[in-house]
Structure 1
Amino acid sequence: MRAAVLHAAGSPDAFDICEVDRPDVGPDDVLIRVGACGVSFRDVVERNGTYKRDVSYPLIIGLEISGTVVEAGALVEDLQIGDRVCTKAFSSCGRCNLCRSGRETTCSRRRPVRGGYAEYVALPQDACVRTPADMPFEVSCGLGPSAGVAVNAVRDVAHVSIGETVLVTGATGGVGVPAVQIARAMGARVIAVTRSEDKRDMLSAIGAHEAVVAEPDAFAREVRALTDGRGVDVVIDTVGSRVFDAAFDSLAVHGRYAMVGQLYGENIAINPARIFFKRAQILGVGSVSRVQLEDAIALTASGVVQPQIARIMPLEEVAEAHRLVEGGAAAGRIILKP
């Protein structure tokens, strides 16, 4: 099968498009013929060496996978040949205390999903959730690491409620877009932040009540002005360190700061007094559970979540796809079709 293989961390040109063996299928695995694979920022930081967890070479990356089950191991019970599926970002054991108490995203035996930059990928059945037969692969491929994580952040961690004001950073990104859509559907007022004036119209189209166009460290004053000086009830931060100061300054007293992403390698520094004087809650979001992904699929099927697709590209253009995502040039998802 054809695959885009990394032999070491590097630039977008580090990918080697070559023929490799189809992966072996274990008793708990399914073999998926890849229909589409989104290019996520986790792919970018794995490729460039920033993200090192469980990384070894040679490596086929790609976690936003959708496709068709073509083979199933002897222990697979929930999926059948011919099922259309999309993936979580990891598989969990399903047996430990964390898994059995609804905290599977922190399972100590979790294994990352990778391998979507290829014609076929073998994954544990736990990592895969069935999708409707009429849902295009280009739509379903990113639902786990994008809409599913947004469900986790907006509904289950930040507990957004009707009438609150929510600030979303990186609002045109993979998690940002569904976070805007879900927060609006829950009755919140949504302020979306982007660096590009060209993306303002997109933010209005996906449901943002206001769009703030500013550099990462310079949007707090405008957000305060939009809220009559009060600030926002909730921050959904999909960017991380480079926007932290401005996003925290935008937070109202008793606000909740949900940290979803960290796209860069630097640390942040904060005087603890800023947290307790504001009575702020800083909340870690993490990944997506099976239930959250199932809910994200249902929200997409009903039209609440509407993934924005910028380009669909062949596997041979993976380097260009990474340049687009890393540079933040695309308004919407970049999708590979292996």
Structure 2
Amino acid sequence: MKGVLLVNLGSPDSTDPKDVKRYLEEFLMDERVIDLPLWLRTFIVKGIILNTRPKKSAAAYEKIWWEEGSPLIVLSERLQEKIDHLTQVPVALAMRYGNPSIQNGLQTLYNEGVTDVLLIPLYPQFAMATTETILVKAEELRQRHFPEMQFTNVPAFYNHPDYVRVLSESIQSQLENKEWDHLLFSYHGVPERHIKKSDITKSHCKIDGQCCQTASPAHQFCYRHQCLETTRQVAAYLGLKEGTYSSSFQSRLGIDPWLQPFTDKTINKFASEGVDKLAVVTPAFVSDCIETLEEIGMEARHEFQQNGGKTFHMLACLNDDEAWVKVLSRWIDEWALSPIEK
């Protein structure tokens, strides 16, 4: 029997600093998030970050927390419920960190008799710290607890025509009847070394301004290329004029080189250079979360206006948008109708 597991990033169980600390420890101790030797990762995370960050992060979560709970969890649950009503196979939900866990999601499907699972990491672009860690964790759990299961993985869909269409039309509808000077595509940042580690050619990715535009097998797993390509294809779909849109990267951590340009510096630069009306979309996320609602919707908005900007349009993620639900449901049904490989 076939079934589907949707997997998103995750969230603390509450805004209590203890829950936030527990979540951050699981997240930051992942070797694909902070890819340093265990002793150094432990020192940085448990010796430094977890002694200072939980209270600050808890305060940030409090700003965006909904009555029903974490926005990311609530929105993911709404998405799962809508898809489950439209598809022919069971659809479960899991988070890479926190609850409900991937093990819990697989167990739910197993209890329904599912042995053939379609894994859908809810990330349009591939990255070590997102898609890869989900697939690795799921395989570890399969081998340990569900050896009779087999997985099919949905690849990065950053350039899938269906995704480009629904993202473009979502942007268009949200900006309808609004005035804006520039549309910024803000993607979650990653360290430059992640890009090079994911380079299957071991030589193509130089992050030199040219490699992402030069065809290569490396692009299958290159987060930077995939982000820039999402921007390019959406801009083409919407007919945006050159100079009216750009890409940037948010949420950096530590002192190592991260992908640039940085979102915060870019937004402040726009404000100081006379861009009065800025719109920001965050296509690395399909569900609104602390990085979109607080980091961009509150902090970046405040900085933009403090530096001279006037109007700031924060665009919602796809969330449980009906067009997005229909796309995912169709992908699932197409897979469900295909024969099970032996």
With the shorter chain as reference, the TM-score category is under 0.3
Bigger fraction of residues in helix: 2
**TM-score, L = length of structure 1:** 0.26
